[in-house]
Amino acid sequence: MDDESRVTRRRVGDAEARRANRGWWDADADAYQAEHAAFLGEVDFVWCPEGLRETDARLLGDVAGRRVLEVGCGAAACARWLATQGARAVAFDLSAGMLRHAAHAAATTGVRVPLVQADALALPFADGAFDTACTAFGAVPFVDDSAALMAEVFRVLRPGGRWVFSVTHPMRWIFLDDPGEGGLTAVHSYFDRSPYVEQDETGEATYVEQHRTLGDRIRELVGAGFRLVDLLEPEWPAGHEGTWGQWSPLRGRLFPGTAIFVTDKPAN
C-alpha cells in the first residue's frame, strides 16, 4: 500500500476510531509537544491556532471556586491555567502519552491538577459533578458518536453549568490540509461526513478525525439538552505569521479555521 492509499475517507466504527486515536496520540505525544508547546504554553489557555486566549475571551466566565473539567486535555495546560484562576480543575485524556506530558509539566511548573485517563464516551464522574466543562480541540473531533459525548458532558454538569469547546471550523473540510495556495481550492463536499482516515498497510486505521457540519453540531448540542449561547469564528489576527498544520495567515485571512461553541445546561 503506497502513501496515497494510506489516506482515505471511510466509515470507521467507535472501537476502531478509539484504538487508532489512542495509539496515534500515544506515539505522537513527544513530537506534538516539541512542535506546539511553545505556542500553547505550560500554564495557559489557548483556544485555537488563531491565538485566542481565555484570559482575553472569558468564554467560561468567572471560574474561581468552580469545579471545571477539561475534556481531552492533552498536556493539560488549560487545566493548569484554570487552577491559577482559582478553579478546582480536573483534566482527562484518552492518551497515556499526552498525560505523561501533563504530569511532567505539573512537576516543572508546580501547578498540579488531578489527571484522569478516560474515554470521553464513558466519563468516570458522577452526575452533576462539575460546574463547567471545556476543551480546546480535544476529544470532540475524534469520537465516532459525538452526540453521545455531548450527552455525557451534559450528564456530568450541574444545572446552569457551561460547556465550551473549540473544533476545526466545519467549512475547512471542503479544502485540503494545505496552509498554502493548494488549500484555497474546494475539493470535498461539505456534506460528506465520511471521516478522514490514515491507515497502515493492512488497512487498519491509525488516525481518525470526524467531520460534522455546523448544523450537525447544533443538533447534537440541542439534542443533549444544551442551550447555544454563542458561536465564535475567531479572525486571524494582524501580525500573527505562524502556521499550525493547515492554519496559516494566507487561509486565515480569507475564511475561518476554528469554531467555538459556547453553551449552557439550563438551570431547570
Give the confidence band of 5 by pLDDT, cuts at 50, 70, 90.
Answer: low
Contact 93, 73 (CB under 8 A): yes
Model pLDDT for residues 236-249, shown as the tens digit of each residue = 999 999 999 999 99
User: Nearest 5°: phi and psi at 119?
Assistant: -95, 130
Model pLDDT for residues 196-205, shown as the tens digit of each residue = 999 999 999 9
Model pLDDT for residues 41-52, shown as the tens digit of each residue = 999 999 999 999
Residue 2's Cβ-side half-sphere holds a number of Cα atoms within 13 Å equal to 1
| pLDDT for res 211 | 95
Three-state secondary structure readout of 105-130? HHHHHCCCCCEEECCCCCCCCCCCCE
Q: Is the pLDDT of residue 2 over 90?
A: no
| pLDDT for res 268 | 79
Q: Is the pLDDT of residue 156 over 60?
A: yes
**Type of residue found at 185:** T
- Rounded to whole angstroms, how far apart are CA atoms 135 and 183? 26
What is the percent of the chain with per-residue pLDDT over 70, rounded to a whole number?
98
The pTM of the full predicted model, rounded to 2 decimals, is: 0.96
- Give the CA dihedral 14, 15, 21, 24, nearest 10 degrees: -160
Model pLDDT for residues 33-87, shown as the tens digit of each residue = 999 999 999 999 999 999 999 999 999 999 999 999 999 999 999 999 999 999 9
- Rounded to whole angstroms, how far apart are CA atoms 153 and 68? 12
Model pLDDT for residues 138-147, shown as the tens digit of each residue = 999 999 999 9
**Type of residue found at 51:** G
